[in-house]
Structure 1
Amino acid sequence: MCLKSKTLPGHFPHFETSNKHLSHCSPPPSSAMVTHYSLDNAISSFFESMTSATRQQCDDFALGHTGGQPSPVQIQGTFSYTVAVGATKILQFRVLDPSLDMHVMSLAKAVHPQFVASCKYHGTIGRSRPVHIYEMENLPGAAYIIARSISTIQSADAVSPAAQHCERPSEVRVYHTMMSTFQAGADHACSFFAQSWNSRRRLDLDNMATLQAEFESKCDVLTRSLPPRFTSNLHGVRQSPPSLFSETFPFVLNHGDLCEMNILIGRETGNITGIVDWAEARILPFGFALWGLENILGCMDSTGWHYYDNRRELEDRLWRAFRTGLTMRRRATCSSSEVRGWRACSGGMGL
């Protein structure tokens, strides 16, 4: 399986696969990277095809701006060149098309102060095809998809029915790591969503109507394109927009790609240490990013998707942590709305 990467505004590129998304029960991508990924080739390709700026110009800027020797991060994005300077700074040189929206980054930092890296813009290098320069905190932790694979292999007696769906010993190890890691970070995960709920945004009726039409159109495309077995779920999702895109439901900043590569966790504690890749973030009804939680409630292997046998227990724990993280003023409003948001999300995940 050949890996390719998509840039993100942090130090962990978001992996995509040429055939399908990385399996939840597959081994961590490190072994595949050794075979299929070359750091030098990735850097050379970026400067040869994406920009008129040179690597030397970028390295010189990093050295002159910070006083420290730049070191390329292990995995580079397709549309950027990223270097670490010491343990605290990241400098990223991005081509024009995927350049970061600094307003969104500032809003994300304001809503989620402990999860989002601060970001500064430093202009451009290059003339005809310049790169845009961003300076960010080097957030601690490792991408969830990598960090979840560090537990020891459990005995056969300890393997639950859900874990038995996984096909190799390493997959059983991943299962148990995911359980312990998810439980350790559940409070952090839901405090992240509680922060969004507490920091509602305002949209005028015209913008709401435009967004509603956009998502109804997407549902219609899916209805025409997917096999009939999905019709029932699509019909349920299609009924949600009128209640979600209204003045009575909270609009919040939603992360657009809350996958396992964009959630950073501490290897020892399991606590969430950062959320990266805000390039696709938008103001939308609460719940449009909740699908990210589904990714850590189960695993995928060659036979399909399998929820863990304690999935409901974990969901209950999540919602308790979510309500605990709400301000008193917001807590009184969440009981019915959170269910609608969760159901809208779950309906989409069930496709």
Structure 2
Amino acid sequence: MSIYDLEDTIDNFFTHETHVKRRQCDEFVLSRVRGLVNPVQLQGSCSYTVTAGTEKPKIFQFRGQNYDIDMKMLYLAKRIHPQLVARCIYHGTIDNPRDPGPGHVHIYEMDKLPGTAYIMARDISANQPSEAKFFAQSWRNNQYSDPNEAAGLLSEVKSTLRLLLRSRFPRQYLPNLLKVLEKLPLLFSGALPFVLSHQDLNEMNTLIDPETGSITGIIDWAEASILPFGFSLWDFENILGYMDSEGWHYFDNRRELEDAFWQTFWAKASNITESKKKLIRVARMAGLFYRYGFIWNGKTIDREVEASDASSIAYLDAFCMTDDW
């Protein structure tokens, strides 16, 4: 297992993702706010993120040329989750005048949200009611009403998942995958609301209060899209346990955590029938295959997972082999 190193990760971004120099980015930050430029402790592979400012600290993120954020999606996220999504300004791009050509970076300035990335506070259980309220906010904000758009989205998702049938994707997962494909038309029929789906709601992008476990912020909406409710529930699965070199382990109080989540969700959401509960489980499984069945490069699929992809296989074994979904 490789050891994360902050400076190596930053150097890798400026070596492989852009010809813009780190100094150029830091100088831009100092042209906007006073104070020291401090890189955040957890850097993404396709961006360089820093904090700066004394009275009201700001986050500045420099994203690779092909990893820009859809600002309409971000504004929508801010409207739906006003307390959990930072206000963001897009400042355009920076290029390197001495090395013109592809490789510029996109510049985003954001308010600094409180809290700590969940991956840095795994000894604190994430607060299930807090997470449930986040998902309930999505449920109550239906985004699609045009049948033609829904049909196009169904075709896209179906085509993507069917790639797994024509690849070296391990055969043991196919029974559940085929069940998902069979039920996809129901998911996109309007029986479930079409919601803003984060699509990368992992332990690095969920901020929590380290004292209470309550969610204080959701960051990095670059991969957000509109999908039937439930496609992002793989994130909820991830806070019920942890992965190590021996595979996936649920926490001892997993059932208690699940009950707390769903009881709050049923209370905060509305119009949840038994048939919709069944479809939510289908959407959850579809999201798990979407997440772990492919090797992703941002919003783009590099390839389908194979038996040699140990990390993805461990998650698929944990979540996509079950019969009781």
Indicate whether the TM-score tops 0.5: yes
**Number of residue pairs the alignment of both structures matches:** 282
1:115 aligns with 2:57: no
Deviation at 1:309, TM superposition (A): 4.4
| Closer/same/farther in 2, CA of residues 310 and 239 from structure 1, 3 Å limit | farther
SS of 2:90's partner is strand
8 Å CA contact retained: 2:228, 2:283: no
Partner SS, residue 240 of structure 1: helix
Decide which of 263, 283, 286 is 1:320's aligned counterpart: 263
Provide the C-alpha distance between the structure 2 equivalents of 1:85 and 1:306, rounded to a whole number of angstroms.
38
Segment drifting more, 93-102 vs 298-307: 298-307
2:247 corresponds to which residue? 304
1:191 maps to a residue whose letter is: K
- CA separation of 1:312 and 1:239: change in aligned 2, threshold 3 A: farther
The runs of 5 or more residues in structure 1 that have no matched partner are 3-31, 150-176
Q: Which position in structure 2 is the counterpart of 1:350? A: 320
1:104 corresponds to which residue? Answer: 73
Q: Does 2:174 correspond to 1:207?
A: no
Q: Residue type of the partner of 2:104?
A: P
Query: Are residues 340 and 49 of structure 1, via their aligned partners in 2, closer, same or farther at CA, if it must alter by over 3 Å?
Result: closer
Output the amino acid matched with 2:50: V
Query: Deviations along 1:120-173, whole A, 9 cap, x unmatched?
Result: 111222253432211012222222122013xxxxxxxxxxxxxxxxxxxxxxxx
TM-score normalized with structure 2 length:
0.78
Correspondence 1:145 to 2:119: yes
1:332 corresponds to: 271
Partner of 1:27: none
Q: How many Å separate the matches in 1 of 2:238 and 2:173?
A: 20
Q: Output the amino acid matched with 1:134.
A: Y
Secondary structure (helix, strand or coil) at the match of 2:150 reads helix
Is 2:6–2:43's contact at 8 Å kept on the other side of the alignment?
no
> RCO greater where, 1 or 2, for CA within 8 Å and sep 6 or more?
1
Aligned-residue offset at 1:56: 2.9
Indicate which of 269, 294, 300 corresponds to 2:212. Answer: 269
Distance 1:267 1:223 in 2: 42
Deviation, structure 1 residue 209: 1.9
> What's the offset of the Cα at 1:72?
2.1
Decide whether aligned partners of structure 1 residues 48 and 220 sit closer, same or farther in structure 2, where only a CA change above 3 A counts: closer
TM, length-normalised to structure 1:
0.73
* 1:89 pairs with one of 41, 58, 80: 58
For 1:107, what is the secondary structure of its paired residue? helix
The letter of the residue matching 2:194 is F
Residue 172 of structure 1: aligned partner: none
- Report the CA distance shift for 1:124/1:306 in structure 2 as closer, same or farther (over 3 A): closer
Asked if the contact 1:259/1:292 (under 8 Å) is kept, the reply is yes
SS of corresponding position for 1:222: helix
Q: Which moved more, 1:120-129 or 1:332-341?
A: 332-341
Q: Deviations over 1:40-70 (max 9, x none)?
A: x444444454444333332222112123332
1:124 aligns with 2:98: no
Within 5 A, what are the aligned runs for 1:286-301?
286-301=229-244
Separation in 2, partners of 1:247, 1:112: 22
In structure 2, the CA distance between the partners of 1:50 and 1:246, relative to structure 1 (3 Å rule), is same
Relative to structure 1, is the Cα distance of residues 248 and 82 closer, same or farther in structure 2, using a 3 angstrom cutoff?
same
Seen in structure 2, the aligned counterparts of structure 1 residues 94 and 303 have a Cα distance that, compared at 3 Å, is closer
Instruction: Report how far residue 259 of structure 1 moved.
Output: 1.6
Could you say what secondary structure the match of 2:220 adopts? coil
* Distance in structure 1 (CA, Å) of the matches to 2:248 and 2:13: 36
Q: Give me the whole-angstrom Cα distance separating, in 1, the residues matched to 2:171 and 2:251.
A: 27
- Does structure 1 residue 67 correspond to structure 2 residue 31? no
- Distance, in Å, in 2 between the alignment partners of 1:220 and 1:316 is 33
Q: Is the 8 A contact 1:62 1:69 kept in 2?
A: no
- 3-state SS of paired residue (2:266): helix
State the alpha-carbon separation in 2 of the partners of residues 54 and 64 from structure 1: 16
Question: Matched residue of 1:239: which SS?
Answer: helix
Consecutive unaligned residues in structure 2, runs of 5 or more: 289-318
